[in-house]
Amino acid sequence: MSRQRTICSQLGHVKLQLLYKASIHGFTGAAFHQRCDNRSPTVSVGYNASGFVFGGYTKQPFSQSGQYVYDDQAFLFSFSGEKLLKYPVTNTQYAVKMIGNYGPYFGESLILVYGSQAEVYSNAGNYYNFSAADMHGNDLKLTECEVYQVEELEKPWRSMIWESEKRKEMTDNIKFYSPTDFTVSQARILLIGPVGAGKSSFFNSINSVFRGYVTNQANAGSSATSLTTQFRTYSVKSGQKGKPLPLILCDTMGLEENTGAGLNVDDIISIVKGHIPDSYQFNPTAPLHSEAYGYNKSPELKDKIHCVVYVIDACKISIMATKLEEKLAAIRKKINLMGIPQLVLMTKVDEACPFVAQDIKNIYKSSYIKEMMQDISARLGVPLSCVVPVKNYCEELELDVNCDILLLTAITQMLRSADSYFDDLIQQELRSSSGSL
């Protein structure tokens, strides 16, 4: 399976469907053509008793025309252990030949099921350059031959538009966003999550998107304990001298699994209710009490949290400690009772999935990312539609339009959730005022 995955990684978001297996269907050209003609693209694989696995790829459909066929994408390959050695076609006009009495026929260089025998024909040179020793160890007897059709996997399971025009549209919508409750000018978004999940990095990334270059205003990095020890509220500016955006990102100390360490659950509730002032210094062993200096006893709606976001490292979902999961569940339960919308921000998706690391646009094509999103959805009890994956700016020096689009999508979802909260409050007020008449 790992070799299949390696081959697939060369071909994009694909799976392999077996068409022909010589040990079952016969080591004959007729059996091969019966099952494989007019099918494309294909991967053909030979096996020998010396343990070599080798073959070729072509995007052209097989036939029995007797003609050579052009293919600029064709390549031969062999495996050295799990490592793939790849030999691209060097004469594209003669990449593949279509002959009835033979199996897969790659440009007079490699023929599997040669002359309807369990044999290989091998001649490196004008069509493909390879070492016979590396390709098959000079063992030309086949123990097996397989041909697979390469099938594109389903369309992305979440639709996204990856264009700079879309990025501009999203940034403009966020700049001109106005909360549905006129008493509030900025939606307050609370970020909660384990140490090192990327809360501060997310703020820095959003700030970077709107500044137009990578910034590091919030303290972020790798540490076993939380780098954020204060409650910080960050207003994002549109450009270096621009106006603050209509949202505030609230950063908290990291959650830790042990009792008496990391962010205190009671402090979270005080933050959500609007009691805790900016720059409050967290004390993991003692939550803020109502008589403490700076405690806001009469918070207004603008002081309260309008959407709670759990920030989770995609690489650590499967190894999340039970105590941490229980702590998150306890927080969720209390915030549910307060009627505040909750989202999950899944960070470090590129580190979790090589397919996404290759191209961030693969995010909604990756079945692995989808499985992780489903996993965290089940663990935290939030709908899958409330799980939003992002890649923060951590080591880059320049912005990337596709990363920006993912980050802006996350902010858009947060503002929509905040609006749902405001709408609910307005409906409650309308019901209570109509009930009092």
The answer to whether 75 touches 89, Cβ cutoff 8 Å, is: yes
Q: What is the mean pLDDT of residues 228-238?
A: 80
Residue pLDDT, tens place only, 295-344: 788 999 999 999 999 999 998 888 888 888 888 888 999 999 999 999 99
The answer to whether 410 touches 372, Cβ cutoff 8 Å, is: no
The average confidence (pLDDT) of the chain is: 88
Distant-in-sequence, close-in-space partners of 200: CB < 8 Å, separation ≥ 6? 218, 219, 220, 227, 228, 251
Range list for CATH 3.40.50.300 in the chain: 164-436
How far apart (Å, rounded) are the C-alpha atoms in residues 273 and 288?
Answer: 13
Class of domain 164-436: alpha beta
- pLDDT for 259: 64
Confidence of residue 436 (pLDDT cuts 50, 70, 90): low
- Global pTM? 0.66
Q: What is the DSSP letter of 316?
A: G
Torsion of CA 382, 223, 400, 166, to 10 degrees: 20
Give CA separation, 48 vs 54, 142, 311, in Å: 9, 5, 50
How far apart (Å, rounded) are the C-alpha atoms in residues 58 and 284?
Answer: 61
- pLDDT for 222: 47
- Counting residues of the chain whose pLDDT is more than 90, the rounded percentage is 59
How far apart (Å, rounded) are the C-alpha atoms in residues 186 and 245?
Answer: 8
How far apart (Å, rounded) are the C-alpha atoms in residues 260 and 271?
Answer: 18
> Does residue 271 have a pLDDT over 60?
yes
Greater confidence (400 vs 157) lies with 400
How far apart (Å, rounded) are the C-alpha atoms in residues 392 and 349?
Answer: 9
Greater confidence (202 vs 257) lies with 202
- pLDDT for 203: 92
Q: What are phi and psi of 389, to 5 degrees?
A: -85, 145
How far apart (Å, rounded) are the C-alpha atoms in residues 275 and 295?
Answer: 6
Residue pLDDT, tens place only, 20-79: 999 999 999 999 999 999 999 999 999 999 999 999 999 999 999 999 999 999 999 999
Give CA separation, 305 vs 80, 203, 435, in Å: 56, 16, 27
Q: What is the mean pLDDT of residues 355-383?
A: 90
Confidence of residue 118 (pLDDT cuts 50, 70, 90): very high
